[in-house]
Amino acid sequence: MFSFRTIASPALAALLMTTLPWSALAAESPAKPASTEQVKEQPKEQPKEQPKEQPKEQPKEEGKEQAKGSPKDVMIRVNGEAITRQEVDRAVKVLLAQSQVPQPVEPDLMKQVEEAALEQLVSAQLLYQEASKLEILDLDNQVAEKVAQNKAKFPSEEDFKKALSAVDMTIKDMNEFTRKDILINTLIEQRFSSKAVVSEADARKFYNDNLEKYFTKPEIIGASHILIGTSETATAEERKKAKEKAEDIAKRVKAGADFVAIAKADSTCPSAPQGGDLGKFGRGQMVPAFEKAAFALKVGESSDVVETQFGYHVIKVTEREDGSTEKFDDVKAKISEFLKRERIQNGITAYVETLRKEAKLEKPAAQ
């Protein structure tokens, strides 16, 4: 049940930007269709006008790449080191690939992604500048080995080149990214990871404080229902007839009548075509009267008539998953690793903020 959550950290995100998600870039992931629930009608959003597709950039001629640091290409200088438009565009592609954002991206969202990418690149550059002061033995061999490992993840040389091309990278760029990755990781290991110690008491406190949130699996049931609906303006006589019809159905079901067939024929709920199937749900997801009746039933058992603001229901429970709680000893290692990551990330974030205050950040006057 317990799993790591993503902790927002500009500094850590900056670190991750130095290693591109090669496997994600090698193949496009189709957008998943939005799921629908038959018993929870969500308000439909009005279709938004799709932004016009931006003209594609013309491919650069090999050997004529604009020199890094050219004034019109510079987005910001970090202690004199330029971050270029090409680097920001490349980072944006990585962020969009990681998030699997549907295309085309709306202008407002694209602006936010570009700003986030620039901030992450600034943080990465600050970390790299500090990490460059370290002496790492055999760094060139480490870079070559890691590049070879990344390359080996692809089925063929052609697939590898396509992945690079997808983010406007060359082999030279990849070597530079890998060098930064090794240097920054070494800095983080020496300054933060080695000092992030989590005691058993720390882990147990987290466990106790988050017992219900992370370590308790709630009871879940699967149920179907037959609804004889009534409107808010229904008269007393109309409600009486609806209730009598529901009571007759309840008797027939208890006598062995086909629940699914009756639901398809008589239920007024949108779930009728599916035989009244509502899927699985936990406590707090249905109206109180419905929930109380449903959770009181055994698997295969049907209810008497249950009245709610929607009308009169006959409920049948089709499956049940009992709740459970994970033991501390079973999750202690995961909690300790989670807390260690959190402390490392908090340390990196604070460190980058300090570096920012001391850094000279210069944006071109036109921006």
Tell me whether residue 57 is in a domain. Answer: no
Note whether 83 and 156 are same-domain residues: yes
- Per-residue pLDDT, 63: 40
CA distance 112 to 128: 24
pLDDT at 234 over 80: yes
The answer to whether 83 and 118 have CB atoms below 8 angstroms apart is yes
Looking at residues 46-56, what average pLDDT do you find? 43
CATH of the domain at 1: 1.10.4030.10
- Report the range of poorest mean pLDDT among 68-77, 96-105, 110-119, 353-362: 68-77
Tell me whether residue 240 is in a domain. Answer: yes
Specify the DSSP class assigned to residue 9.
-
Strand 74-78 relative to strand 361-362, pairing: antiparallel
Tell me whether residue 44 is in a domain. Answer: no
Q: What does the buried/exposed string (b/e) look like for 133-158 if buried means 16 or more CB atoms within 10 Å of the residue's CB?
A: eeeeeeeeebbeebbeebbeebeeee
CA distance 160 to 152: 9
CA distance 227 to 265: 11
Average pLDDT of the chain to the nearest whole number = 83
pLDDT band at residue 248 under the 50/70/90 scheme: very high
CA distance 24 to 315: 45
Nearest to 181 by CA among 365, 303, 50, 17: 17
pLDDT band at residue 204 under the 50/70/90 scheme: very high
Tell me whether residue 60 is in a domain. Answer: no
Note whether 184 and 278 are same-domain residues: no
- Per-residue pLDDT, 91: 87
- Per-residue pLDDT, 12: 40
Contacts of 122 by beta carbon, 8 Å cutoff, 6+ apart: 14, 76, 78, 83, 356, 361
- Per-residue pLDDT, 53: 46
Q: Which backbone phi and psi does 232 adopt, to 5 degrees?
A: -65, -25
Note whether 140 and 208 are same-domain residues: yes
Looking at residues 206-234, what average pLDDT do you find? 95
- Per-residue pLDDT, 71: 64
- Per-residue pLDDT, 2: 52
- Per-residue pLDDT, 166: 82
CA distance 112 to 116: 6
Q: What is the pLDDT of residues 140-177, one digit of tens each?
A: 999 999 999 989 999 998 999 888 888 778 889 889 98
Coil, strand or helix: which one is 85?
Answer: helix
Note whether 278 and 196 are same-domain residues: no
CATH of the domain at 257: 3.10.50.40
- Per-residue pLDDT, 366: 60
- Per-residue pLDDT, 68: 53
The answer to whether 150 and 24 have CB atoms below 8 angstroms apart is no
CA distance 68 to 84: 7
Q: E strands along the chain, which residues?
A: 74-78, 81-84, 216-217, 220-229, 277-282, 306-308, 311-321, 324-325, 361-362
Q: Is the dihedral of CA 325, 327, 330, 335 positive or negative?
A: positive
Note whether 186 and 91 are same-domain residues: yes
pLDDT at 323 over 90: yes
Note whether 72 and 186 are same-domain residues: yes
What percentage of the chain reaches a pLDDT higher than 70? 80
Nearest to 314 by CA among 247, 231, 241, 230: 247
Identity of the residue numbered 234: A
Which is more confidently placed, 41 or 237? 237
Does the predicted model carry a pTM greater than 0.75?
no
pLDDT at 3 over 90: no
pLDDT band at residue 27 under the 50/70/90 scheme: very low
Residue range(s) defining the domain that contains residue 264: 220-322
- Report the range of poorest mean pLDDT among 30-34, 232-236, 260-264, 305-309: 30-34
Q: How many domains does the chain have?
A: 2
CA distance 198 to 5: 18
Beta bridge partners of 39: none
Q: Which backbone phi and psi does 302 adopt, to 5 degrees?
A: -115, 160
Looking at residues 299-317, what average pLDDT do you find? 97
Helices and strands in the chain, H and E counts: 13, 9
Note whether 138 and 241 are same-domain residues: no
Rounded alpha-carbon distances, angstroms, from residue 330 to 45, 90, 203, 333, 336:
43, 42, 12, 8, 12
Specify the DSSP class assigned to residue 273.
G
Tell me whether residue 363 is in a domain. Answer: yes
CA distance 324 to 274: 30
- Report the range of poorest mean pLDDT among 24-28, 238-242, 270-274, 301-305: 24-28
Looking at residues 78-83, what average pLDDT do you find? 95
Looking at residues 217-243, what average pLDDT do you find? 95
- Per-residue pLDDT, 168: 79
Note whether 145 and 90 are same-domain residues: yes
Angle in degrees, CA 183, 184, 185, rounded to 5: 95
Q: Which backbone phi and psi does 78 adopt, to 5 degrees?
A: -110, 105
